[in-house]
Amino acid sequence: MTTTPIRFGLIGTGRIGQVHARSIAADPDTELAWVCDPIVAGAEAVAARYGGRVTTAAEDVFASGGVDAVLIASPTPTHIDLISAAVDAGIPVLCEKPIDLDIARVDTLRPKVASAGVPVALGFNRRFDPAFASVRARVAAGEIGELEQLSIVSRDPSAPPAAYVAVSGGIFRDMTIHDFDMARFFLPDIVEVQATGGALFDAGAREHGDFDTAVVVLRAASGAVVTITNSRHSAVGYDQRLEAFGAGGMLQVANARTSLVSLSTASAVEAKPPYQDFFLERYAEAYAAELRAFVSLVRGEPSTSPTFEDGRAALLLADAAQRSAEQHAAVPVDLG
């Protein structure tokens, strides 16, 4: 049985928008129908490569009658209004994280999303990484007993430009938010956050009162502990590791390398190639799987797409981490 491809409207054609455009074009169950960006050259370049009509106004996408779903990959300050417009138009939406930098704005939209009857999903793509998803499924199956400790390491190869740091909302809302969602993927009921950080090497972080180095400890209602280690630089490449520990053992995810080939000689044994150096390489499979899960959601089929509530919870944890790091104290949280 063949199904009609889901027609997507893509809003935003920056780096992440281009990732999503490629995923949509590569999936036989989806097609790129509209491409929107206020910078028309960006929209035209994406459309020329992957298809779709071009516009500089999101209103054209929502009013076109020619899309079955919208993917929002535009800057964070636009997310709230675009999600709201999609809901008003009755169009399912997948929005990149975070929903917004201001939890008050998120909570203003929350009742509308809850009562809309239109699927609203958040782009926490790491849930769909095959290795992370496998560990989570094996933990849920009881393979290592009850989860006692979860350790997440997330270090970027290099710090972002200072201009980006200025509008990012800070490391916890911009970078660690993926790790907060991963923590909740394993332990949804986080009740306490304790964070510390420093500006050790990045002039942009110092200039804008942000951290380039951070450690966060989360406590779940069960008593299980999550440790998140972040840095804005890593000389060894994109550092993305995870360990789940319980009484019956541990499950670990190692860094992905650029090649599986190793070299042994008289001067070195099993010399291995470097780690992958960019999130687009590391999470290519995850982005494709994220899209497939959202397509299932649009079709009314069972789906594991993260929800608006997942996005809200991650932002609450990020806000709590910011307060904790500033106040040097543990912060209780209520994610309800």
3-state SS record for the chain: CCCCCEEEEEECCCHHHHHHHHHHHHCCCEEEEEEECCCHHHHHHHHHHHCCEEECCHHHHHHCCCCCEEEECCCHHHHHHHHHHHHHHCCCEEEECCCCCCHHHHHHHHHHHHHHCCCEEEECHHHHCHHHHHHHHHHHCCCCCCEEEEEEEEECCCCCCHHHHHHCCCHHHHCHHHHHHHHHHHCCCEEEEEEEEECCCCHHHHHCCCCCEEEEEEEECCCCEEEEEEECCCCCCCEEEEEEEECCEEEEECCCECCCCCECCCCCCCECCCECCCHHHHCHHHHHHHHHHHHHHHCCCCCCCCEHHHHHHHHHHHHHHHHHHHHCCCEECCCC
pLDDT of 159: 96
pLDDT of 280: 80
Tell which CATH classification among 3.10.20.30, 3.30.360.10, 1.20.120.330, 3.40.50.970 matches the domain 127-282+306-332.
3.30.360.10
Residue ranges per structural domain of the chain: 6-118, 127-282+306-332
Asked if the model's pLDDT at residue 1 lies above 60, the reply is no
> pLDDT digit string (tens) for 23-43?
999 999 999 999 999 999 999
pLDDT of 2: 62
Asked if the model's pLDDT at residue 113 lies above 90, the reply is yes
pLDDT of 256: 92
> pLDDT digit string (tens) for 207-243?
999 999 999 999 999 999 999 999 999 999 999 999 9
pLDDT class for 3, splitting at 50, 70, 90? Answer: confident
pLDDT of 279: 84
Length of the chain: 336
Amino acid at 321: A
User: Percent of the chain having pLDDT more than 70?
Assistant: 99
* Mean pLDDT computed over 76-99: 98
* Residue 326, token pair as written in the block: 């500033």
> pLDDT digit string (tens) for 269-305?
999 999 988 888 899 999 999 999 999 999 999 999 9
Kindly report whether the global pTM for this prediction surpasses the value 0.75.
yes
Tell me the fold of 6-118: Rossmann fold (3.40.50)
* Mean pLDDT computed over 131-152: 98
Average pLDDT, the chain: 96
pLDDT of 106: 98
> pLDDT digit string (tens) for 37-66?
999 999 999 999 999 999 999 999 999 999
Tokens 């209602």, residue located:
221
* Mean pLDDT computed over 164-192: 98
Cβ-count burial 147-166 (b if 16+ within 10 Å, e if not): bbebbbbbbbbebbeeeebe
